Structure 1
Amino acid sequence: MARVLLVVGTAGVLAYPWLVPNYYLVYAGVLTIMYASMATSWNILGGFTGYVSLGHSAFFGLGAYGTGLLVTRAGVPWVVALPVAGLLVTVAAAVIGVAAVRVRGASFVIVSIALVSVMNLLVQGWRSLTGGATGLQVPSPFPELSRGQTHMVFFYLFLALLAAVLGTWWFVSRSRFGGGLRAIREDEDKAEMLGVPTAAFKVAAFALSALFVALAGGLYAVWFGSLDPIFVFSIVSGAYMVLMSLLGGVRHLFGPLLGALIITPAGEYFLIALGETQIHLTATGVLLVLVVLFMPEGIAARVAGPPKGASIREDSAGQRLQEVKG
């Protein structure tokens, strides 16, 4: 039954741009898939290790500006600029992660927020390179297409990214690396005592998560064309990743995707209904609090139940160590 639903759902997503009546709904679809990719990417770190980062939008912004600057300043084709920027951000995230994952809990959250603020100030201050507060204009990679047709192209590009992120999450969840990350989430001190290289695993998860978020930022740069540092380095974007993952379920493959399918259209609706106000942001904060208080395991856990082997508290120490070390 699950396979049938997966095939039907995939077919429906692939046909979506051709079934909706206007290009605005295609745009909304692109936005939803973009956030689903980012939330699933965030879940590689937050879901497996339990380290909650509200600052992952820093990597989104770095990927966007990295791709945009390579295209506009260096004349690099966007298909080359995108992976190059993603790899550079991954290296930077690994370096940052060495220091960031030394702290836990609320301290890690504060560090992640500080990272976004620093990057925002850096980009706005370096006017000669980034354009400062006025932003950066990135030329369209498909100038012969209309705006609506461009939305359709990027729908499938973001969909390919989402497929790659989902595949990576699935592979990690069934690997010894994923077993080590789950051990860190449940009891980091015990995992380290059992021989799990916790520091290396956390840095690797941090960098891998940043890679896909940066690729989403790079695609956004060439899709949207206009980069505003206030938006791409926004704490709100990071909060959306967390909210989508928690609402859908951080321990399930399709949990963040489910959360994105709910949060993104709702956000667009409230933005249209309420206009350019801060009410929809307040609603997002309230929803995040409610999810944490009353549905910490997410919708997927309510529907499908907890995934097998999700907690080291359900296994003996010897079994978990055997899973990690093989």
Structure 2
Amino acid sequence: MIVHEWTSESADQHEEGRRLGAHWAPQLLAARDSYLRLFLQSGVSAEKARSIADECRAMTETHAPDVAEEFHGVAEGSGLALSDVHLLTARTEILARMTPSMECSTVVYVPDDATPPRTLQTWDWHETLSNETIVRRLHSASGARVVTFSEFGQPAKIGVNDRGLGLHFNILHHRSDGSRAGVPVHVLARMILDRARTVAEAVEISRSVPLAASSVLTVVSFDGTTPEAAAVEVSPAGVAVLSAPRGRTLAHTNHFLDETLAAGEYSPYETTSVPRYRCLTDAGELARIVDDRERALAFGAIPDAPISVRARPEQPEHLRWETKLTVALDVVHGALAFAAAAPADVAVAEWRRVGMADQHVPAER
């Protein structure tokens, strides 16, 4: 997977969307075509996908007008229809109605001293999709500076801001998914990164908007003295918050941990969510490692660890998942550290660091 970098020049959301769309038009067009193919393989026609995207568009314009303005710019710059830009943003909401997907393992250690949380996540997605992705440095309309990794066409996924807050992102599946129109979960992630300073503020934002699909946003923050973290499970049925005590490790994969929401769990396919969760909790001490690359290497060295997901060639194309990224957050310096590889492959992959104003400088292997 190729991870591109892009830096915004101002807080003018429309203009920055236009710049991004014009520069990355081929990638955006390819992403649209790839997702329309996946939707069709999953039993969702292009007409149905666009209908769901239009519902999400209306909710985005109501609850996140700054992000909606960026989408207008992306459409203008790229030449894509505005409905296609919203289709890419709403891919989780579209798939939630037909084909639940397996995605991501996250672990966070919350120190009991005045040091920041230590985090690590894998991003697992379809083998044939999103083989070009992007890390964006952007200026939000609120004045915050944000660094976020995402697929092309999404406003955010995994990221940090310059206010001491960071966010990891895992998909979940609930029987209430698709029961109403809602703000796309990737727009919610951007809203949190744009606006929040604390875990409590991130929770408040999560509770403030209607949602059409489920995810867990593992939010971490550090004010220079106190580290905090919580897994915020969101779904159309409600929001649950699982806070991490000081000196403890918090892990999350792709099943609900809140008992009430877990009663509505939905997953028709074989999943490795529970084995991956147990792997993270059993090896929780490794999350204490201070250096982010060493932390990734330690988890990657666990023999036969299920958190390094490998594509299974015997599965249909739309059911083949693999680990595409291993990433850690630095909420002190506002940076992402990552390798475009599974944890088991970090030792032979380039470990990169992208901060608020950094240029791309490869780290040593």
For the pair shown, the structure with the greater C-alpha radius of gyration is 1
Q: Which has the higher contact order (CA 8 A, sep 6+)?
A: 1
Task: Verify same fold: TM over 0.5.
Answer: no
Short-chain TM bin:
under 0.3
Structure with greater strand share of residues? 2
Q: What TM-score, normalized by structure 2, do the two folds share?
A: 0.25
